[in-house]
Structure formats: structure tokens, C-alpha cells
Amino acid sequence: MKQKKQSQSNIFLNFCLERIEKVLYFVLFFLVKIKRTILKFSKQYYIYLLTGAFLIVAFIGGLLGQKHNPDLLFQFNKKQLIVEKTGDYSEKPDFTISAYLEKERPTVSLEGSALVTPDLNVTDDYLIQRTKIISYKVQPGDNIEKIAKKFGISVNSVLWENKLTKYSIIRPGQILRILPVTGISHKVKYGETLEKIAKKYKASIEDIVDYNNLADASSIRIGDVLIIPNGVMPQIIPRRRVARLSRSKDKVLLVSKKYTSYRQWVRKTKCHTYRWGQCTSWVAFKWSLAKGKCLPGNWGHAKYWLYRARRAGYATGKTPKVGAIVSLRERGWRARLYGHVAYVEEVGSDTITISEMNFKGAWIVDKRTLKKNDYRIIGYIY
């Protein structure tokens, strides 16, 4: 009676396991179908779901196999792995595994027939070395260091080959060029020799010839893409752009005509007038009338005039003189931003009189009297 109940429970259990296995097969099929939808959220979650479902199916399949085939007995000794059928259905199947690590080759025997595995000694010579540049699609969670480590090259090799910097950001789906070795690639241009290329990247000519399978150092053509093993990208130091200033005060345009007004001068002169209605334009007009020569036109805003006049060879100082240009430090926001200059008209015992434009507004000319030791006076250009 007990055996009958036990057999019925086994039948019911097998029935349930078979149904669960079919359901899980359907789940696996469904996961494959909606792969793209899940990948939009996270590839990691998709892998977890697929792996979990597969493991459950494999586990249930193992249980079913154990129920239907309880007659397999695995034994393992030092030199043989024997898989044999016991034929005894009365006893519970016994699975015993004993593992031994030896240098000898194991023999696999199945019901009297033996299969002997060959002696495989895997060395570095068997590994296939990549010799060409490949394309790699950036995956979620990747960064430059991980990609470089994955392919066994340096971080700089990845950056140089893809024209990136250490501040560059890579995104999933982006395609990167991956070199086979640490180094850099170079496309041969007109007039280049292998010696010049090796010197440029601080590499060895012999290494370049050997790696690119060249006959000799002269067998390169325009357009060839060479891989430079252990090459280093030459450091490019950006040149600082500096305004070119006239070094001689004599190399200026002479004024041959006398002008009666500022407006006439800005319309007809060949001198650089600066921006009309501003303090710099008024001082350039007064200077050209008094000196008979144009003021250099590359001094820029008023706040740079004292420094650039000194660079151009003009005398500067702290003593006021009639006809000098005075550089001032004013309070208005425009004056703080651009600076302010004026023209010295008179010099008294303790004061100076200056003429200027745009102190009270654009195009407005006025005169002021300042003390010689006024804190707003920066210096004079003579």
C-alpha cells in the first residue's frame, strides 16, 4: 500500500516537473523575443533573467532525468573515468566523484571501449596574435581603461588612435579603433621615409619593418597605414598668439595734411582712427596733429596702451608733459573694463589740464584739471 502511494506521488511529481519545464521553456522563448525591449533598459538585467531561467530549466531537467534514469553510477579513480550501467533498480543511485590532479592523461572508458585524449600542451606559440586594427563597439559600463585592459594595450594607444583626450567621454554604441599592440598607427604621406616616421614617434625602424612585414625600410608607399609598436605621440605645444607690435616708433605713417576738426580727420585720414567717438580715437587725432605722424593702430583698448607703447619703443614715465598721452584709472564700469586715456593740454605747477572724449558720453569732448599726484594717473606716453 505504501509502495502504491509512493509511486502515485512520484507520478504526480514527474507530471508537475514536466509542466514547469514546459512553462520555463516558453519563458526562455519569450525572453529571446523581447530581447530588444529589455536591452533598452539594461543589458545586465536581461542576462540575469536569461541565465536564471536557463539554470532552473537545467535543474528541473536534471531532476526528471534522475527520476527516469536512476541506474547511472559515476566512478572516478586516478587513471580512469568509468561510466557504467549497474542494472540494479532496487537500490538508490549513488553518485560519487573523486578528483585527482595529475600530469598523466585520463582514459575514458564506456562499457569496455576506451577513448584516450591526446596530450595537449598549450603554450604562447599556439595563441593567435592579432595583427590588424579592429573596430570595437562600446558597451554599457565600458571606459577607456577597461577597453585597453581587455585588448592588452595601453590607455594612450586607445586615446591616440581615436583622437581622444583623457577628458573625453565615450558612450555605449560608439565605435572605437583598437590597435593590435601598444603604440600608434601612421598613414604614410608624400616625402616621408621610415627613418623620419620612426624618429617622429620615438620607435625602432626594425620593429616597424618586422611588425608590418616590410621587405626593407624603403618599401613603403604613400597611403600605407603602418602600425608603430611602442610608438609615442609627439607632444604638440600650442603657440601663444601675441599681437604683433611695432618695435620702432619711426615706422609709422606720416601725416601730410592738417585737419581742422576731429570729424574731418576720422573721415579722410589714412591713420588708424580706432573706434569713433571713443577716448582712444580722440587721443589718436590729437597726437597726429601735434606730432605729424599716426599713432600705431595695434594698441587695442586704452588699458593696454601704456604697456604696448613701451613694447613698441615709445618713452613712458610718471612726469607730465604737454602733448603726452596720460593713462587713467577711472571708476565707471566701462573705464574699469576698457581703461581710459586722455591728451595733456597744459602742465601747471601742481596740476595738469587734459582733453578727452567719452568721459561724459560718446562723441562728447571735455577738459578737466587734475593734480599731478592724482591717484587715477597711471603713467604717461611721450
pLDDT given at position 122: 39
pLDDT digits (tens, 9 = 90+) for 23-79: 766 776 776 666 666 655 555 666 777 677 777 766 666 665 555 444 443 343 433
Q: Mean of the per-residue pLDDT values for the chain?
A: 76
Bigger pLDDT: 16 vs 229:
229
pLDDT given at position 143: 92
pLDDT surpassing 90 at residue 154: yes
Cβ proximity of 201 and 186 under 8 Å:
yes
Q: Which residue has the cell 612726469?
A: 319
pLDDT digits (tens, 9 = 90+) for 61-72: 666 555 544 444
* Nearest 10 degrees: Cα torsion 3, 6, 11, 13: -170
Cβ proximity of 187 and 223 under 8 Å:
yes
pLDDT given at position 139: 93
For residue 57 the three cell numbers come to: 530549466
Per-residue pLDDT averaged across 185-189, rounded? 92
pLDDT given at position 9: 63
Q: How many CA atoms lie within 13 A of 327 on its CB side?
A: 22
CATH superfamily of 262-381: endopeptidase domain like (from Nostoc punctiforme) (3.90.1720.10)
* 177 confidence band (pLDDT: 50, 70, 90): very high
Cβ proximity of 178 and 222 under 8 Å:
no
**What residues does each domain of the chain span?**
1-68, 72-118, 139-229, 262-381
DSSP notation for 163-218: T--TT----TT-EEEE-SSSEEEEE--TT--HHHHHHHTT--HHHHHHHTT-SSTT
Whole-angstrom distance, CA of residue 273 vs CA of residue 254: 14
Where is 108: in which H helix or E strand? strand 107-110
pLDDT surpassing 60 at residue 119: no
| Three-state DSSP state, 365 | strand
Per-residue pLDDT averaged across 286-303, rounded? 88
Most confidently modeled of 41-55, 68-82, 107-121, 361-375? 361-375
pLDDT surpassing 60 at residue 179: yes
pLDDT given at position 43: 59
- b/e map of 137-155 (b: 16 or more CB within 10 Å)? ebeeebebeebbeebebeb
Bigger pLDDT: 331 vs 369:
369
pLDDT given at position 86: 42
Per-residue pLDDT averaged across 175-198, rounded? 92
Most confidently modeled of 86-90, 148-152, 335-339? 148-152
CATH of region 139-229, choose from 3.50.50.60, 3.20.20.70, 3.10.350.10, 3.40.30.10: 3.10.350.10
* 261 confidence band (pLDDT: 50, 70, 90): confident
pLDDT given at position 218: 85
Cβ-based neighbour number of residue 85 at 10 Å: 11
Per-residue pLDDT averaged across 149-174, rounded? 91
Bigger pLDDT: 106 vs 366:
366
Inter-helix orientation angle 2-33/43-68, to 10°: 150
Percent of the chain with pLDDT over 70: 64
pLDDT surpassing 60 at residue 127: no
pLDDT surpassing 90 at residue 325: yes
Whole-angstrom distance, CA of residue 310 vs CA of residue 318: 13
Instruction: Answer whether 139-229 and 262-381 agree in fold.
Output: no
